[in-house]
């Protein structure tokens, strides 16, 4: 059965949050889902000091131990990145980083020294059109040798039919050095692309996370702990349930003090799920049957909540409806 084939290391829910301290990136990949290549696309930029302080205050007070993940945009470009990490290492939480690996070695070394065994994992994404492959590979091998033994380190790469030949060589080289390369499926118009049969066969068992299982899939109505045990914070402190723009998925703003987590799991209201993190952290309760009553109630409440948010936003902009 589909759900039995999902890759899960344990069945316990893992608490985690994704903190986007910036939504800008120094690379401009032509397949970027955040459209960093598009000059007309709005980006907030770097989180300011007030936002950083408020977010830190809130997350350091979360009950229990959480994985704090930095990624999307390029977090290492934020001048306060190391300071923030240092602050988190003094708490009961741990850290994870997804990076394009463009940061200089001295900075990565400092990062490793600051985080020590509190660094759960680092994902270095290799973007063939933006970086020198040999330098990247040497850096990856070096990083693997200096990181704490507790830290899981992997390299990822977005597959295109054009870079497929190069990937095979890179995969082999990393494998020989004991580093895992996991592949990511390219997206176009919000859907994953289909590759040639040869490429599809090669990537089938090398995909990052559970992409193979969630590829253009929907778990609408399934109970999901995102919003309670997982959330995303944007550069100005807005908090969202998960990676999908989802009805009722806005959880308030940490700077304004309006942030509140869901009390527990709630039905998914999205027609699409791309949240590999949610699966890996056992947050989607696949085995639990959909409950129509709960879905209807949550949907009605969410629509009302979204209307309130919109009304407040329009009021703050002095626009009447
Ligand atoms: S490195 Fe990542 S965030 Fe930056 S442009 Fe490339 S795909 Fe986008
Ligand atoms: S889209 Fe995925 S992660 Fe988000 S609520 Fe639905 S099932 Fe959960």
Distance CA 279, CA 10 (A): 11
pLDDT of residue 28: 92
Give the position, in ligand 1's atom list, of the atom nearest the Cα of 37. 5
What is d(CA 268, CA 140) in angstroms, rounded to the nearest whole number? 38
Please report where in the chains the tokens 């592949």 appear, as a residue. Answer: 183
Q: Please report which ligand is nearest the Cα atom of 156.
A: 1
Is residue 175 left, alpha or beta, with left meaning phi > 0 and alpha meaning psi from -120 to 50? Answer: alpha
pLDDT at site 10: 66
Neighbours of 76 (CB within 10 A): 20
Beta bridge partners, 181, equal 155
Distance CA 306, CA 309 (A): 5
Q: Map out the domains of the chain with their CATH numbers.
A: 13-208 (3.20.20.70)
Report whether 189 contacts 164 (CB < 8 A). Answer: no
**Ligand 2 pocket test target in 211, 217, 218, 219 with most atoms within 8 Å of CB:** 219
Q: What ligand 2 atom has the least distance to the C-alpha of 224?
A: 8
Ligand 1 center to 291 CA (angstroms): 39
- Nearest protein CA to atom 8 of ligand 2, as residue: 224
Q: What is the mean pLDDT of each run of 10 residues along the chain (321 residues)?
A: 47 93 94 86 95 98 96 96 97 97 98 97 94 96 97 92 83 94 81 82 77 77 97 97 90 96 96 85 92 96 91 76 51
Total residues found in the chain within this entry: 321
- Cα(34) to ligand 2 centroid in Å equals 19
**What's the order of all strands across the beta sheet hosting 94-99?**
180-185, 152-159, 119-126, 94-99, 67-70, 16-19, 230-233, 238-240, 250-253
Ligand (nearest to CA of 75): 1
- Cβ neighbours around 261 below 10 Å, total: 16
Check: CB of residue 24 under 8 Å from CB of residue 46: yes
Does the pTM exceed 0.85?
A: yes
From 16, 222, 299, give the residue whose CB has the most ligand 2 atoms within 8 Å, as the site to mutate.
222
**Angstrom distance (rounded) from CA 31 to CA 193:** 11
Look at residue 33 in the predicted model and tell me its pLDDT. Answer: 82
Contacts of residue 61, defined as CB under 8 A and 6 or more positions apart, other chains included, come to none
Quickly tell me which residue has 């930095």 as its tokens.
70
State residue 2's pLDDT score.
41
Q: How many C-beta atoms surround the C-beta of residue 170 within 10 A?
A: 19
**Ligand 1 site-directed mutation target among 100, 124, 156, 158, most atoms within 8 Å of CB:** 100
Give me ligand 2 centre to Cα 274, in Å. 8
**Distance in angstroms (rounded) separating the CA atoms of residues 185 and 306:** 32
Rounded Cα distance, 45 and 48, in Å = 9
Ligand number, closest to the Cα atom of 35: 1
Q: Is 127 in the pocket of ligand 1 (CB under 6 A)?
A: yes
């Amino acid at each position: 059965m589909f759900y039995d084939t999902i890759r899960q290391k344990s069945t316990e829910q893992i608490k985690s949050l994704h903190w986007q301290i910036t939504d800008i990136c120094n690379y401009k990949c032509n397949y970027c889902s955040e459209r960093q290549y598009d000059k007309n696309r709005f980006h907030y930029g770097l989180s300011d000091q007030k936002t950083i302080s408020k977010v830190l205050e809130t997350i350091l007070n979360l009950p229990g131990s959480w994985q704090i993940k930095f990624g999307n945009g390029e977090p290492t470009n934020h001048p306060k990145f190391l300071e923030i990490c240092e602050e988190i290492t003094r708490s009961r939480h741990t850290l994870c980083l997804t990076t394009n690996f463009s940061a200089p070695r001295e900075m990565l070394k400092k990062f490793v020294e600051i985080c020590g065994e509190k660094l759960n994992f680092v994902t270095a994404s290799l973007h063939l059109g933006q970086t020198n492959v040999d330098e990247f590979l040497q850096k990856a091998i070096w990083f693997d040798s200096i990181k704490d033994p507790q830290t899981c380190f992997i390299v990822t790469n977005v597959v295109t039919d054009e870079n497929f030949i190069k990937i095979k060589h890179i995969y082999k080289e990393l494998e020989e050095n004991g580093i895992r390369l996991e592949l990511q499926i390219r997206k176009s118009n919000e859907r994953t692309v289909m590759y040639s049969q040869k490429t599809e066969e090669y990537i089938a068992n090398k995909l990052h996370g559970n992409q193979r299982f969630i590829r253009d899939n929907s778990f609408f109505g399934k109970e999901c702990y995102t919003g309670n045990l997982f959330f995303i914070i944007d550069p100005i402190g807005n908090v969202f349930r998960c990676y999908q723009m989802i009805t009722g998925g806005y959880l308030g703003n940490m700077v304004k003090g309006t942030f509140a987590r869901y009390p527990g799991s709630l039905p998914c209201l999205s027609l699409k799920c791309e949240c590999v993190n949610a699966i890996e952290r056992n947050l989607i309760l696949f085995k639990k049957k959909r409950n129509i009553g709960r879905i209807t109630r949550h949907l009605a409440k969410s629509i009302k909540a979204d209307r309130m948010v919109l009304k407040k936003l329009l009021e703050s902009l002095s626009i009447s409806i």
